[in-house]
Amino acid sequence: MPRKSPLDKVLGKLEDLDEVNLSNLVQRLARERKLLETVFDVIRDGILVLDRNGVITYSNQQGRRLIGLKRELGEKVSLLRAAPDLAKSLGLNRLSEIVRPEVIVREILINYPEKRHLRVYAVPIEGTLSDKHSEQDAGLTVVLTDVTEEKSNVEEQIENEKVTSIMDLAAGVAHELGNPLNSINIHLQILQRSLKNEKIEGKNKGKIDKSLESCIKEVQRLDGIIVHFLKAIRPSIPDSKELNLLSVIEEILHLKEKELSGKKINIQLETQSKDPIIDGDHEQIKQVFFNVIGNAMDAITDTSEIRIIISFEDEYITVQIIDHGTGIKKENVSKVFEPYFTTKKKGNGIGMMIVHRIMRNHGGQVGIDSKYGSGTIVTLKFPRKGIRYRYLEQK
């Protein structure tokens, strides 16, 4: 014979209770209900209790928060009305009652009151009448666990691992290219010295010398590109020192002076102060501006200008690089920081990924606003000197 619960025992003797004992019992049950509600309200998981028609008969504080239900509407409202996504995942619709499954376990995405990933665990409730086999009051207890952050962390970890593997591959390829280039450079120099000892006169000698000199210069240029590339993609903790952003920007503009002049691009540099000071790694921040300003220059086809605006907020120094170039199509803006995505014919698709990584490692932010055919605004936010922040773990 099954054991009776304490409540069953009390209910069995209900007819024998006098008015005083009945009043005491009601007060005791009210206190116990209040205690249980307090306990359930501090639980981090959401709890919903549904009757056989899918109507919410109980909800704790977290349960109401997750489905966007006000406290005064926490009971006697249809789950289908309160949280359609959740209701559909439990097999509810407007025409049917709850179909009593054994157990429901699944993960769903809800869009209201905000986009969240929930792990749903639902268990049927046995009939609560004295007849244990009655299903008249049967329903579901639904436990909701918010796994949005967990999902986000997993996705971020996968993305970091993907980026790391790509970086490793790119570094390996660049390293392998460097070895033959060094060998070619050495042999070209040997050939150049050998030809100096040969008795070659006239125009032929001049042509040979000029061709060799050009080959050596081009090989050295390619070697320099590879060295620069390897420095850029190898993850490293920033060697932070006091840094003036204005000085770094002016340094990049000086490096690109000939290219800017050749394309007839005018630079408008606007700043609220000549001392936009941050704590940062000089070479890494230099790489950020080299890539972003370079992209702006590539986006401009005709004579135009690039505006660089430095402004100050409470915690950040903001630098905006604005061009009136080709812009980025709406469907491609979200892909800009992805590895190997590029809209350039000769682009490698890792420049903005490197920018994103460096900004993140400096505790900063990078954002892009673009309209195809009108231009692009790249916004860089650097923590002001003295603002504490932590470096994200290198992957």
Which tens digits make up the pLDDT trace of 130-152? 444 444 456 889 999 998 887 77
Cα separations in angstroms, 231 against 98, 151, 236:
61, 32, 9
User: How confident is the model over 37-49, as a mean pLDDT?
Assistant: 81
- Residue 365 is part of which domain span? 241-383
Single-letter residue type at 143: V
What integer pLDDT is reported at residue 253 of this predicted model?
92
Residues 289, 212 share a domain: no
User: How confident is the model over 319-348, as a mean pLDDT?
Assistant: 77
Residues 220, 106 share a domain: no
What integer pLDDT is reported at residue 270 of this predicted model?
92
User: How confident is the model over 30-44, as a mean pLDDT?
Assistant: 73
Which tens digits make up the pLDDT trace of 48-65? 998 888 889 888 888 888
| Structural domain count, the chain | 3
Instruction: Give the residue among 344, 319, 343, 329 at the shortest CA–CA distance from 374.
Output: 329
The HSE-up count of residue 257 (CA atoms within 13 Å, CB side) is 4
Q: Answer for the pair 164, 395: CB distance below 8 angstroms, yes or no.
A: yes
Residues 215, 112 share a domain: no
Residues 263, 355 share a domain: yes
Confidence bin at 394 (pLDDT 50/70/90): very low
Within 10 angstroms of residue 161's Cβ, the number of other Cβ atoms is 11
Domain final residue pick, 82, 115, 146: 146
Structural domain contains residue 6 = no
> Which DSSP state fits 59?
E
Strand 265-271 to strand 304-312: parallel, antiparallel, or no bridges (unpaired)? parallel
User: How confident is the model over 179-192, as a mean pLDDT?
Assistant: 76
CATH code at position 327? 3.30.565.10
pTM of the shown model: 0.48
Which tens digits make up the pLDDT trace of 226-275? 666 666 666 677 888 899 999 999 999 998 888 888 888 899 999 988 88
More reliable by pLDDT, 129 or 99:
99
Residues 311, 229 share a domain: no
More reliable by pLDDT, 174 or 300:
300
Residues 301, 215 share a domain: no
What integer pLDDT is reported at residue 235 of this predicted model?
60
More reliable by pLDDT, 246 or 10:
246
CA distance linking residue 175 with residue 289, whole number of Å = 25
Residues 136, 86 share a domain: yes
Beta bridge partners of 306: 267, 323
Could you tell me which residues come within 8 angstroms of residue 99 by beta carbon, excluding any fewer than 6 positions away?
91
Residues 172, 260 share a domain: no
